[in-house]
């Protein structure tokens, strides 16, 4: 049995009031459509087709993955017309699952239930009963509770509007039958659209028993139509993620003030204070404590690491036992070995810092290799850029860089060397030597300060 998935994503999304196509708006930093595509892949589908239209090539351009078939629907003439465009791409599929690009939280467990029900019926609808069904297509059943048809809000008589069971739009259809049914759709309705939902009455007329399944959680079938719904969905998704992390043993000071916009692998006894944002792929070792207001993206943090408040860590590697911040910034390719200390207002980019070294205050370290047990004094700056090219600085083991030093790269400070505070180092410093470039201090005993005239 071959399974195809058709994702309808051609609609405009006027209420988002945005130049960005609706399905590209991010939920937890991933486009709405990206969530649906990932879930579609999770069904083990043999083929996935996405119907796009509004927003043009911007939509497919966002997903260069070779497993997706892109089908353009130039004019949005309705869900039936959209599905029709995908039929050639679905040739040979025994069953076709229809998903919506703007219904991002649909889950694989729910779809499994739909697929299971599909073993008994050529047409299964995902339906849900809502206290307020306004706007949705209503599921009309007969006295024996058999589904008869779907009636859209705009076409519904008052007794139909009173029904609370609605069509989520997600359905599983027999492949060959879908083609036959779609060929017979018309647009003779209140909106002048080709309604995919009209296939239900056709199936019933043929004597087919239409089945239904229900989602595990109402949020799974909620669509995003405006920014308020997008925000509501974001909070819901974040709470699901927070709860799942807490179940796995992570301590969150406040699950309502935690954001996971990617994937997090955390060891034992990890504690996250409020407003921690984790993005991309992040790995935290055991006993990691992260202070409030810290953002970590695509980084690997070792065990027993303390990250104090207000740090930004991006594409960096932090070894075991390091202490970072508060107010530190690790930029891409910052690699800290074990037991390194990076203090406040320190920025590190494309640099390796070896075991036990300290950069505790107000420094810029860029394109630099720092050996073991080095002490970098407050206000040290690597001058790595001449306006055109970048150059490297090398600081060998046990060197001591006095405060307020500028290291004009390319330059090397040898092992065990000492640089006096306030120096501008332009030449290599030999190992175990002293380098000092500051002007000599002068003194005038009895000097009088200027007086106001």
Residue 215 touches ligand UD1, criterion: CB under 6 A: no
For ligand UD1, the closer CB: 11 or 366 = 11
**Do residues 247 and 266 make contact, with C-beta atoms less than 8 angstroms apart?**
no
CA 429 – CA 260 distance, rounded (Å): 46
10 binds, among ligand UD1, Ca ion, none (CB under 5 to 8 A by kind): ligand UD1
Residue 55 touches ligand UD1, criterion: CB under 6 A: no
CB neighbour class for 299 (10 Å; exposed up to 12, middle 13-18, buried from 19):
buried
Q: Using CB under 6 A, which residues numbered 358 to 377 contact ligand UD1?
A: none
Q: How many residues bind Ca ion (CB under 5 A)?
A: 1
CA 376 – CA 342 distance, rounded (Å): 10
Phi-psi region at 28: left, alpha or beta (left = phi > 0; alpha = psi -120 to 50): left
Residue 181 touches ligand UD1, criterion: CB under 6 A: no
**Do residues 51 and 8 make contact, with C-beta atoms less than 8 angstroms apart?**
yes
Residue 35 touches ligand UD1, criterion: CB under 6 A: no
8 binds, among Ca ion, ligand UD1, none (CB under 5 to 8 A by kind): ligand UD1
Residue 77 touches ligand UD1, criterion: CB under 6 A: yes
**Do residues 21 and 59 make contact, with C-beta atoms less than 8 angstroms apart?**
yes
Q: 369 Cβ partners below 8 Å, 6+ apart?
A: 351, 352, 354, 392, 393, 394, 395
Q: How far is the CB of 41 from ligand UD1 (least distance, A)?
A: 18
Give the H/E segment covering residue 125: strand 123-129
Residue 39 touches ligand UD1, criterion: CB under 6 A: no
At 123, list the tokens.
């047409």
Q: How far is the CB of 126 from Ca ion (least distance, A)?
A: 14
414 binds, among Ca ion, ligand UD1, none (CB under 5 to 8 A by kind): none
Residue 169 touches ligand UD1, criterion: CB under 6 A: yes
Q: Binding residue for ligand UD1 (CB under 6 A) from 39, 79, 121, 299? A: 79
297 binds, among ligand UD1, Ca ion, none (CB under 5 to 8 A by kind): none
**What residues act catalytically?**
361
Question: Which residue in 158, 140, 101, 118 sits closest to 2, CA to CA?
Answer: 118
Residue 294 touches ligand UD1, criterion: CB under 6 A: no
CA 237 – CA 341 distance, rounded (Å): 35
Stretch that binds Ca ion, among 73-81, 216-224, 315-323, 329-337 (CB under 5 A): 216-224
Would you tell me which residues interact with Ca ion (CB under 5 A)? 223
Would you tell me which residues interact with ligand UD1 (CB under 6 A)? 8-11, 51, 73, 76-79, 81-82, 100-102, 136-137, 150, 152, 166-169, 195-197, 223
């Amino acid at each position: 049995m071959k399974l195809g998935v058709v994702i309808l994503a051609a609609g405009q999304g006027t209420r988002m009031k945005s130049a960005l196509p609706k399905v590209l708006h991010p939920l937890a930093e991933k486009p709405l459509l990206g969530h649906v595509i990932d879930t579609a892949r999770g069904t083990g589908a043999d083929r996935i087709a996405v119907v796009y239209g509004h927003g043009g090539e911007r939509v497919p351009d966002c997903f260069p993955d070779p497993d997706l078939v892109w089908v353009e629907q130039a004019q949005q003439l309705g869900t039936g017309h959209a599905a029709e465009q995908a039929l050639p791409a679905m040739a040979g599929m025994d069953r076709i699952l229809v998903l919506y690009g703007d219904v991002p939280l649909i889950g694989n467990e729910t779809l499994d239930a739909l697929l299971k029900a599909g073993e008994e019926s050529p047409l299964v609808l995902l339906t849900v009963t809502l206290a307020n069904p306004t706007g949705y297509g209503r599921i009309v059943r007969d006295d024996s509770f058999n589904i008869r048809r779907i009636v859209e809000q705009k076409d519904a008589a008052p007794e139909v509007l009173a029904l609370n069971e609605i069509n989520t739009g997600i359905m599983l259809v027999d492949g060959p039958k879908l083609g036959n049914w779609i060929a017979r759709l018309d647009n003779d309705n209140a909106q002048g659209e080709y309604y995919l939902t009209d296939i239900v009455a056709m199936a019933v007329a043929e004597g087919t028993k239409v089945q239904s399944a229900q989602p595990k959680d109402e949020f799974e079938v909620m669509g995003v139509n405006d920014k308020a719904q997008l925000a509501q969905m974001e909070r819901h998704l974040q709470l699901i993620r927070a709860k799942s992390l807490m179940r796995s043993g992570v301590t969150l000071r406040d699950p309502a003030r935690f954001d996971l916009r990617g994937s997090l692998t955390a060891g034992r006894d990890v504690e996250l204070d409020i407003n921690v944002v984790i993005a991309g792929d992040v790995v935290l070792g055991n006993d990691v404590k992260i202070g409030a207001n810290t953002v970590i993206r695509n980084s690997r943090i070792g065990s027993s690491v303390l990250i104090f408040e207000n740090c930004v860590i991006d594409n960096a590697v932090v070894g075991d036992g390091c202490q970072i911040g508060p107010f530190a910034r690790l930029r891409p390719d910052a690699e800290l070995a074990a037991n390194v200390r990076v203090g406040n207002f320190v920025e590190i980019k494309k640099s390796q810092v070896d075991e036990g070294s300290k950069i505790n205050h107000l420094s810029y370290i860029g394109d630099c290799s720092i050996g073991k047990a080095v002490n970098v004094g407050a206000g040290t700056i690597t001058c790595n850029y001449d306006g055109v090219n970048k150059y490297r600085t090398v600081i060998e083991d046990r060197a001591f860089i006095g405060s307020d030093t500028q290291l004009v790269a390319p330059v090397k400070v040898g092992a065990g060397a000492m640089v006096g505070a306030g120096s501008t180092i332009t030449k290599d410093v030999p190992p175990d030597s002293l380098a000092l470039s500051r002007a000599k201090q002068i003194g005038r005993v009895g000097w009088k300060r200027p007086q106001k005239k």
